[in-house]
Structure 1
Amino acid sequence: MIPRRILQIVGTAELVTLVLMLANVVTIHLPTISHVLGPAHGLAYCASVITALLIMGGRQRVWLLALIPGIGGLLAARAASTEHQLNI
């Protein structure tokens, strides 16, 4: 699988878990949902940063974007694909 695609998948998981956590807090605030989604979001966030570090290829912008919580993984995937197209 293409590493940029992996970053897109992990970034999407990061964003979805964050949105679900916030929706839970704003609406019904079930502690069980928070206990499940909190670590899942943390894992997705760490995975997006690590994946961005592995695919950055000397481009600091890619992994710096991955540090933004929530949408960083998707931004990093977009930056990796844009910079890759420019280098060709």
Structure 2
Amino acid sequence: MSSMKVLRIAAGVEAASLLALMANVLTIHAASVSSLGGPVHGAAYLISIAVTFSLTATDASTGARALSFVPGIGGMLALRRLRPCHSGPRHLHRSARGRSDPVAGLSP
């Protein structure tokens, strides 16, 4: 399994477990949910940090490393920073009249 896939899974588990823990605290505050969700969230958080550091070991991208420390969504932020650029559709540019113009700013 590739490191990016591990980071994707860990980031999803990190965010989902935080949401589950917050929902539990705001509603019934069941001890069993807290005792299971806390360690799952903590493990996903640490895995996100470790995998981000391993992916950026040869790269000078300290931004992804710093973002990985944000609790709850750090894995998602790091994943977004590490995502390779793709040649998808170009962004729309605003024309002089304020309307979106899909061809403005494109070089011939």
Q: TM-score, normalised by structure 2?
A: 0.73
The 5 A counterparts of 1:1-88 are 1-56=1-56, 57-81=59-83, 84-85=84-85
Q: How far, CA to CA, are the matches of 1:28 and 1:13 in structure 2?
A: 22
**What do you get for the CA RMSD once the two structures are aligned?**
1.3
Asked whether the equivalents of residues 10 and 73 of structure 1 are also in contact (C-alpha less than 8 Å), the reply is yes
| Structure 1 consecutive aligned stretches of length 4 or more whose deviation exceeds 4 Å | none
Higher helix share: 1
8 Å CA contact 1:49, 1:63 repeated in 2? yes
Overall identity of the aligned pairs, in %: 33
Q: For the Cα contact (< 8 Å) 1:5–1:77, is it kept in 2?
A: no
- Aligned mates of 1:4, 1:77 — CA distance in 2: 8
- Could you say which structure has the larger radius of gyration? 2
Structure 1 unaligned spans of 5+: none
Deviations 1:46-76 (A, max 9, x none): 0000010000122101111100011110110
Relative contact order (C-alpha < 8 Å, sep 6+): which is higher? 1
- Superposed CA offset, 1:17-49 (max 9, x none): 000000001001001110010011000000000
